[in-house]
Structure 1
Amino acid sequence: MTIKPHDLTQAYEEARAAAVQEGVEQGVQLERRQVVENLLRFRFGEVDEELSKVVNSLLQLSAEEFTPMCLSLSREELLARFLH
């Protein structure tokens, strides 16, 4: 079986495109995490260990869902809703 240069180029381009897409997705996830943490920090002054446990749960929601929760629920309500 002979591998043609065109096949290698195509395989490289596909792998490169997949790597770029993965990088974009990781960047979006990091940005979402920073938004949630900043909202909580704005509300409560800091994101301590307990609140940091809530962040992953909030990230499962859309921005339309997590934003009002971060801005309106009390610390106790957030902890009760996502940790218990």
Structure 2
Amino acid sequence: MQLSAIYEQKLSEAKQEGFRHGFQKGIQTERRQVIENILQVRFGASDVELSVIIDTLLLLTPQEYIPLLLQLSREELLERFR
């Protein structure tokens, strides 16, 4: 009986961890889409130079990266995040 309780606990923990990982992955994907959409609206079709800075922008919070994306020029963004 003890083994079953431990098994159930470990299974529950694994499921919760999987859920948290999936949830975080979903948030990251959504943030990437927001950044890509803002870049596309502001500067037209995304190019290689702009796509390179996306991973760096994702390290910031939305409160940090959204104003930058809306205020800085293409050249300023590339200079700041290369």
TM-score, scaled to structure 1: 0.91
Equivalence for 1:15: 14
Structure 1 residues not aligned, in runs of 5+: none
Which ranges of 4 or more aligned residues in structure 1 deviate by more than 2 Å?
none
Equivalence for 2:51: 52
Q: Distance in 1 between matches of 2:29 and 2:2?
A: 39
Q: Distance in 2 between matches of 1:69 and 1:36?
A: 11
RMSD: 1.4
**Alpha-carbon distance, 1:3 to partner:** 6.0
SS in 1 for 2:60: coil
Percent same amino acid among aligned pairs? 44
Q: Distance in 2 between matches of 1:46 and 1:34?
A: 14
Deviations 1:6-51 (A, max 9, x none): 1111110110110011000000111111111111011011211000
Equivalence for 2:41: 42
Structure 2 residues not aligned, in runs of 5+: none
TM-score, scaled to structure 2: 0.93
